[in-house]
């Protein structure tokens, strides 16, 4: 990042994927027992981490639904339309003018996070990026059976650190053979790899890389963020943080159910939820 400070006051949340547009609008009950949209839970995560303004990348025509789902945080939103589904990297590039040459927090709208620390996952990531003065992606140790669903990174643990890695390779949805050849991270359990958790702190350099990829792509071609992140790792220090917490992918099979259970079991009504689960399990035998 050079001499520019890593002040993270803007976030970009992507919500334009044709198959996932309605997921952030779903209602869940948060850890405090309050009904909220998934989008509102994501927004509260980033606001607690110090973000002031949020660029929301949407399909044209979705603005009213997202304004309503944002609740009391609607005033923080700037809507950015992706007019054709050209991939995640292209969706991120739709926010180029919004970020205005500043570092930013990037999230997907269909992932929720439940931190096991006092600081939430966005705070953990931003704190790490500010201290390191470079881009940082959140990762989770993931079994090789899940590789078809995620981008993954290869690299090595930074000296003197427990959960912070220097990224050397990035591959989108690698095959087990690719992962074994290029993404082995010393210290991880056998058969496990570092996969993206859907949250990144990025520098404006990523927009320059994405712009170049878009200019070289075939008309209508898909632009993957992982390809740009791979280039980023070759151009500047780029780290991966194994965040302390759990990620819930709402788009997975039973994703909403698992996310709701995770939030409920982490909340103040854990005992009541467990009692109802035991009763349900007893009935289903």
Tell me: the pLDDT tens digits for 53-83?
999 999 999 999 999 999 999 999 999 999 9
| Residue 3 maps to a domain | no
Specify the pLDDT at position 3. Answer: 44
* Residue 23 tokens, joined: 């997921």
Pairing of strands 10-14, 53-58: parallel
What whole-number distance in Å separates Cα of residue 38 and Cα of residue 69?
A: 8
Q: Is 283 helix (H, G, I), strand (E, B) or coil?
A: helix
pLDDT confidence bin for 4, thresholds 50/70/90? low
Closest among 99, 135, 138, 141 to 119, alpha carbons compared: 138
How many structural domains is the chain composed of? 1
In a domain, 1, yes or no: no
> Looking at the domain assignment, is residue 120 inside a domain?
yes
β-sheet bridge partners, residue 10: 53
Which pTM value belongs to this model? Answer: 0.94
CATH number of 16's domain: 3.90.550.10
5 lies in some domain: no
pLDDT tens per residue, range 5-49: 789 999 999 999 988 889 999 999 999 999 999 999 999 999 999
Assess if residue 4 is contained within a domain: no
Tell me the two tokens of residue 189: 């359990």
Report the distance separating Cα 134 and Cα 6, nearest Å.
Answer: 8
Tens of pLDDT, residues 252-279: 999 999 999 999 999 999 999 999 999 9
How far are the Cα atoms of 21, 122, 142, 165, 172 from residue 149, in angstroms, in the given order? 18, 22, 10, 21, 9
Identify the domain containing residue 277 by its residue range. 10-283
Query: Residue 45 domain-assigned?
Result: yes
- 240: pLDDT strictly greater than 50: yes
Residues of the chain above pLDDT 70, percent: 98
Please report whether residue 257 resides in a domain: yes
Does residue 2 form part of some domain? Answer: no
């Amino acid at each position: 990042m050079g001499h520019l400070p890593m002040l993270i006051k803007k976030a970009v949340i992507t919500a334009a994927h044709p198959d996932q547009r309605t997921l952030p609008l779903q209602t869940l009950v948060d850890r405090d027992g309050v009904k909220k949209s998934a989008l509102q839970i994501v927004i509260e995560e980033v606001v607690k981490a110090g973000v002031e303004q949020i660029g929301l990348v949407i399909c044209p025509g979705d603005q009213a639904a997202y304004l309503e789902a944002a609740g009391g945080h609607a005033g923080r939103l700037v809507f950015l339309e992706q007019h054709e589904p050209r991939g995640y990297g292209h969706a991120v590039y739709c926010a180029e003018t919004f970020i205005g040459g500043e570092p930013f927090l990037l999230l997907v709208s269909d992932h929720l996070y439940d931190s096991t620390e006092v600081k939430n996952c966005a705070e953990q990531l931003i704190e790490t990026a500010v201290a390191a003065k470079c881009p940082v992606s959140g990762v989770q140790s993931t079994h090789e059976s899940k590789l078809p669903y995620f981008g993954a990174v290869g690299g090595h643990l930074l000296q003197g650190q427990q959960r912070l890695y220097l990224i050397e390779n990035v591959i989108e949805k690698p095959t087990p053979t690719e992962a074994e050849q290029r993404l082995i991270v010393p210290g991880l359990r056998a058969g496990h790899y570092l996969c993206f958790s859907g949250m990144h702190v990025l520098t404006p350099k990523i927009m320059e890389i994405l712009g170049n990829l878009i200019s070289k792509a075939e008309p209508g071609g898909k632009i993957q963020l992982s390809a740009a992140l791979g280039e980023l790792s070759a151009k500047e220090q780029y780290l991966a943080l194994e965040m302390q917490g759990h990620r819930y992918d709402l788009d997975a099979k039973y994703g909403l159910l698992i996310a709701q259970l995770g939030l409920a079991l982490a909340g103040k009504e854990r005992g009541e939820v467990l009692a109802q689960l035991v009763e349900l399990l007893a009935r289903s035998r």
